Amino acid sequence: MKRALICGISGQDGAYLAKLLLSKGYEVWGTSRDAQVTSFSRLTRLGIYDQVHLLSMAPNDFRSVLQALSRSHPQEIYFLAGQSSVGLSFEQPAETLDSILQGTLNLLEAIRFLGEGIRLYHASSSESFGDLAGQPATEETPFRPRSPYAVAKASAHWLVANYREAYGLFACNGILFNHESPLRPPRFVTRKIVAAACRIAAGSSEKLALGRLDVARDWGWAPDYVEAMWRMLAQDSPGDFIIATGQTHSLEEFVRTAFALVGLDWREHVVCSPELIRPSDIAWSGGNPARARERLGWTASQTMHDVIRLMIEAERTTPSY
């Protein structure tokens, strides 16, 4: 039986990944900064809370990281922890850099120190590319980060590549573009839009306030994307992979589709708020997943319209209001 450690198991990706690995016969361990007080509501929602082993681990504390690895003895580690909001990173830049960059460095050093051939998946990010101006990114596209979050992710990405080359570690960067699900926290714009559309369709008189509607993203389905993580660590040799649908849509398209699926005209219920515009935003972002398709045998099963429909179905079954 393979044993995997998921750092950040309480989040969207961590929960879906845990479910996937359990279905493949893994013994799954997971960490949270304080496992005694974390609710792990996503694990409960997926019906797998009692099937995983939970540990407390502070990624920015090397001793804590080493203890977690020594207790769980994983063959595979998935590092998904750290501050994950682009918007919040402008308000908490130091915390963002520390949780992402120091956490990545500590894991790499612990794996090197233990010398047990542990395979590492690191959650890199499409945010590192910055504004792509209509040209889908490949794995060779230069990074031009435009937020503290993106700076941290770009730096951590190169740390992983450096340790792979310098010490021969089996370490992979998954450069994931936007991927959504009903497990997204309400602060994320996709969940915010879907929840508001469902509330308004149910009778709420509120207005949904959003920032720029002309920004464009490549939106996929989170359960698809965690399978790509697993496939990366199943390869004969490590590498970096873009994970995306290959289709980019504007936020206005996302909003229009969400409201249309609940029988509403978005223009009657949405207002633009200058206060929600970030200091530096990416106008267009999209990825070319050709390498993942060719080497991992992975393709996205759901595109933006499917993702919105699935999120609405879940919101109506288990509403956030």
Cβ atoms of residues 165 and 185 within 8 Å: no
Is there a catalytic annotation at residue 204?
no
Phi-psi region of 174 (alpha: psi -120 to 50; beta: other; left: phi over 0): beta
Decide: residue 213, CB within 10 A, 0-12 exposed, 13-18 middle, 19+ buried: middle
Q: Which two tokens stand for residue 154?
A: 């770009």
Three-state helix/strand/coil letters over 127-185: HHHCCCCCCCECCCCCCCCCCHHHHHHHHHHHHHHHHHHHHCCEEEEEEECCEECCCCC
Token pair for 55: 């540990």
CA angle 86, 98, 219 (to 5 degrees): 25
49 is an active site residue:
no
Report whether 210 contacts 273 (CB < 8 A). yes
Which DSSP helix (H) or strand (E) runs through 31?
strand 27-32
Catalytic residue among 125, 128, 147, 181: 125
Report which secondary-structure segment, H or E, holds 95: helix 93-97
Exactly one of 16, 26, 78, 149 is catalytic; which is it?
149
Paired with 78 in beta bridges are: 6, 121
Catalytic residue among 76, 127, 180, 315: 127
Catalytic (active site) residue 268:
no
Q: Is 212 annotated as a binding residue?
A: yes
b/e per residue, 290-313, with b = 16+ CB within 10 A?
Answer: ebbeeebebebebbbbebbebbbe
Q: Which helix (H) or strand (E) holds 191?
A: helix 189-201
Active centre residues (catalytic): 125, 127, 149
- Give the annotated binding-site residues for NADP(+): 212
- Give the annotated binding-site residues: 212
